[in-house]
A = this chain, B = another copy of it.
Amino acid sequence: MKSSRTLNRIKMIEYSGQPHYLVAVDCIVFGFDGEHLKILLVKRGLEPEINKWSLIGGFVGAQESPDDAANRVLKKNTGLEGIYLEQLQIYGEPQRDPIERTLSVGYFALIDINKYQTQLSDDYHAEWFLINDRPKLIFDHDQMVADARKKLRYKAALHPILFEMLPKKFTIPQLQILFEEVNDTKIDTRNFSRKISSTGLLIKLAEKDKSGSKKGAFYFKLDKKKYNANFQAFLNLIPNLKP
């Protein structure tokens, strides 16, 4: 290892003069209430744009990676850990933050909305909005939401990520509504259940959900082993997928 004096000299010579920036993370948190796709927003607590609606975010601390920061910020705002989290892209236009140059790493997160509701109610003044009926957001956050939605759709067409938004026990009709919401399309019931069955990812339970009909719909749960094993496989879950 070089001495810190040598390191300092090198740094002065080589890296000095390069600009330094703030680096933040912003999370697009998706949830599903059984009927519609929703997104979790917070009222921004600092200037500029204080009290405007914004994505959940924060600065990347000195001792953490962006992934760490996203998980920390999510835990703080939802109380949840181990959430499905995926990097979207970096947002780095020089003027995107009017106060000072800040690059933001966008993430999208999928959570079981029920877990969220029970865990805490109003400790952090976050609020769920219908994805199609949300307030205008600060900075480039609307662009981030648009990008995240697109990526969610893309990813969900190929990989079974939407299960992350469902409770442990769910029914096929519930699952189908979620797929229809995400893809903004109607899907044929018969073809859908055939496709879902053929993945082999679901285990049928004895219990039924009778809230939606007299007959009731059987609950299913994920086969975790197969889920983890097949996650990277291409499933082609959406029929006739348009770009």
Contact = CB atoms under 8 A, between A and B. Distances in A.
Interface of A: 2, 7, 10-11, 13-15, 18-23, 46-48, 59-67, 87, 89-90, 92-94, 98-101, 103, 105, 157, 232-234, 236, 241-243
Nearest to A9: B47
Contact of A92 (B15, B48, B65, B233): B65
15 contacts: A10-B47, A18-B22, A19-B22, A19-B59, A19-B62, A20-B20, A21-B60, A23-B103, A64-B94, A65-B92, A65-B94, A66-B90, A67-B92, A87-B90, A90-B105
Copies of this protein chain in the complex: 2
A48 B94 CA distance: 28
8 A-B pairs with least C-beta separation: A232-B243, A20-B20, A66-B92, A10-B47, A14-B46, A19-B62, A18-B59, A65-B92
Given A47-B10, A87-B90, A105-B90, A19 B61 contact: yes
Contacts of A20: 20-22
Contacts of A87: 89-90
A96 to B, nearest CB: 9
B48 A65 contact: no
Contacts of A10: 47-48, 99
